[in-house]
Structure 1
Amino acid sequence: MDSKINYTAVGLFVLLLGLGLAATAYWLVTGGKQQSFTPYVIYATDSVAGLTVNSHVLYRGVDVGEVKEIRIDENNPGRIRIRVDIDAKAPIRADTVAELRPQGVTGLSVLNLTGGKSNTPLLQRTKNGELVIPYEPSIFSRLEGGLSDTMVKITSISDRLDQLFSEKNIAIFDNMLQNINGLTTVLAEHQTDISAAIIAGRKTLENTAVASQSANTLIMQSQMLVSSFNKSIQGLKSTLDAANEAANKVSAASDNTIAMTQTGNQTLNNFNQRTLPVLDGLLSQLQETSVALTRLVNQLNDNPSQILYGAAPIPPGPGEGKTSASPNQIAPSP
């Protein structure tokens, strides 16, 4: 008897079984909790040895995410770009800082986040809009860097000491010590002379002090003399100022007198050039008029009838006719 197989039922059973297995695996991985993650970027400035993809991201020791990508920053090869996914409920704030910490003695490392006390949200982003968590080198990195710098300085100091205590410098120091020894020997031999020189120097200093006091007295007297001389100069200056002021006044008066004299001379010249000729002509006319009036008065005195009949005719001269009338004869009125 032939068996009949329902391939549809078999396919549906396999599909349901696969979905069940996938759901079980997801539940086992996530612990049955639904979480949402926010991507962040961290730029490390030191070595990230021990950190791998899927390494944990801790927030003060609490697991809040994992590392998704580690690579060298293309724009700055001195930095390591780390992309992480962190639980959206984790308090990532403006003061949150990430640092690398070793995990036990396994040689692996994790990213640990600190801060979160600020109420200001994280605002720093990359050009692509990804949020950036500031990075701070771990204490082990700082110690490693400090030890490296210290070793470099110790090496430099050691090289300098080697140069300082070279054979050549040691020979120079030996020569210097010998010279110092010879100098001290000479000083010990001439101790008496040095003492005498010191005493003489002391006397010289005392004499110099006395001379300086005398010089100070002389300077004070000179200053008093200069002050008196300055007062005399100031008095003389006042006198000269007064004399200059008086001279200025005299000069101003002299200028006024000269101006008045020039005005008088100009007036006199105008009188001589214009008024005197007119007066001379007037006097001449007055003189001629006076002579004419005198002659008229004399004629009237000699012949008063001239007022009525006019002047007497002038007798004709030799050869002149008797009928010729005098040009000055006045015809009687009819």
Structure 2
Amino acid sequence: MEPRAHHIIIGLFTIVVTAAALVFALWLGKSATDRDWAWYEIGFDHAVSGLSEGNPVQYSGVEVGDVVDLYLDPEDPSHVRALIRVDENVKIREDARAGLVLANITGSMSIRFQGGTADSPVIEGNRENPPLIMAEPSVLNSILDNGEALVSKADRLMTNANTLFSEQNSENLTAILHNTRVATEALMAHGGDIERLMERMNAASVRAEQAAAEVTGFADNADRFLKNQGQETFTALNTAIASIQTTATRIELLTANNEGSLNEGLQGLGELTPALRELRSTLRNLNHFTRRLEDNPASVIWDRGTIQEAPQ
């Protein structure tokens, strides 16, 4: 009798638990049905592998709805449309961005909204005419879409790497490393000579700098001499030449005015003609020296040679 009572109690407990579970499920279903939704259509211009009906819709990481339906765009089969429903209390604004995110490691995808400012208009969504929101391509989708190209590039890279490290190239690389080591050891062995060479080069550069300074000082002194004493020399030479020209003019006038007397006393004045010739030669030489001094004063002043006689 007692075992039969235990079985009745267990059966009643099972029936009560099952009924409670059914009531809870009906309550949840009624709650979900009574919930107010905003409906939107998300457009994708790329593949949506991993996205399926029932997958969650998130806003900044918080689940706010789910995917109701997936279908191809009738006008362009390369585009996919996803009908979603979002809690009506969540405001989707015009500057909000939609995209796909990886939901778990199995490859399941979720639709995620992010962004949106408070002053942007709200998109009103209804079941009969849901507004279209174009999704932005995600980095993960780009990687998946370009996976074949990446694999091909990786294969070419491995092929090129095998070619680069072929037996012949390995031997060449070994030879280059050996030569580099030999050159390094030679440089280290002659380190003292290289150091002394560098010291000599430094000393030579110092001497060159000193010589340049001396040349600069000499040029400055020559410039000051030409500006000061050279000008005085030009003035004195011009004065002497003018005086000589005046004297020569007077002598010529004197000779012309006393030509008769000179003819009579030609025997006594026989040396006057050579004197005049020498005077004219001296005047020509002075004129020649003055022209040289004006053209190149430095060469005339520092030249130790004597003044050459001007051609007759």
Shared fold, TM over 0.5: no
TM category, shorter: 0.3 to 0.5
Q: TM-score, normalised by structure 1?
A: 0.40
Which structure is larger by alpha-carbon Rg, 1 or 2? 1
Q: TM-score, normalised by structure 2?
A: 0.42
Highest RCO, 1 vs 2 (Cα 8 Å, sep ≥ 6): 2
